[in-house]
Amino acid sequence: MQVEIAQLELRYAGLRILQPSRQARLAASLVREGQQTPALVVPAGEDRFVLIDGYQRVSALRQLGQDLVEVTVLDLGEVEALLMRFHLETTSRRTALEDAWLLRELSEVHGLGQQQLAVRLRRSKSWVSSRLGLIRALPVEAQEAVKRGRLPAHAAMKFLVPLARANGEHCARLVANLGREGVSVRQVESLYRAWRQGDAEQRERIVDHPRLFLKAEEAVVTADESEAEPDAAVRLLEALEGLAGHCGSVRKRVRAGKFARANPSGLRRLANGWHEVRLAFASLVMLMREEGLDVGPGDQDRDPAATS
């Protein structure tokens, strides 16, 4: 049967991750072929229905300016309908975070205990506990970023959950300061690795300016994989010598008081530039340490691999 989209209650929209690419494909399919699969709903009073499954379809129809949606009305309560959807879906379509959001909904809103959840979902109690543990650890800001498709679920689970368990406030600030632009799994891994290896001051800079850190890291670590060329070490040495030369030039200018004559706007730009250099240098130090190249003056004759 068809119902008006305005008749639907979308109370379970927050249980799924928004997938803009999938929604775009759905919209294109709807234009070409119309709606092929009905959404699943349960009754919610006179002329009202709770949407159980089909949120991407309904969103795509709205995007196309449609008012009607084809639905199948389930003769079930909301809990039974949610459980049925869980069992009908393949696990490849869900993330552990989506499992956790469903568990929290069934527990906190519908009153099912962990043992009941384990039995009804045909999972172990430890599975239920571990899933709920993910969202207890992960700040709301990070969960919302995942739901909106700005933060990969895998990155949140693998890197932000341990960060949050170590320092929840830093995790929340990091996600907030990443802003609305999307971020990759590799970038989140880089931020977490640098935070874990950094001292207190470096950690503060990373969580306050994550985009700046990623920009600095990309400037230091290029995507060029040709470092195996015979003259790669020579080129790296030349680059390091150039870096040392630039540092010497900056020292001379600072000692000569060149910055003192700058106006307030110029001083702010200098401060911002210096902040970016510090982040870039901190990233370089961490990388050289990881590669076993962070050796002191008395260590030149040692095999660099021995320091790692």
pLDDT digits (tens, 9 = 90+) for 74-103: 999 999 999 999 998 865 578 999 999 999
Confidence of residue 284 (pLDDT cuts 50, 70, 90): confident
Averaged pLDDT of the chain: 85
Task: Give the Cα separation of 70 and 57 in Å (integer).
Answer: 10
Q: Which amino acid is it at 31?
A: V
303, pLDDT greater than 50: no
* pTM of the shown model: 0.67
Predicted confidence at residue 237, as pLDDT, reads: 78
pLDDT in tens, 113-125: 999 999 999 999 9
CATH number of 1-89: 3.90.1530.10
Confidence of residue 225 (pLDDT cuts 50, 70, 90): very low
Q: State the pairing for strand pair 39-43/49-53.
A: antiparallel
Q: State the pairing for strand pair 39-43/68-73.
A: parallel
Confidence of residue 230 (pLDDT cuts 50, 70, 90): low
pLDDT in tens, 10-27: 999 999 898 878 888 888
What is the H or E stretch that residue 273 is in?
helix 264-290
- Residue 258 structure tokens: 């060149």
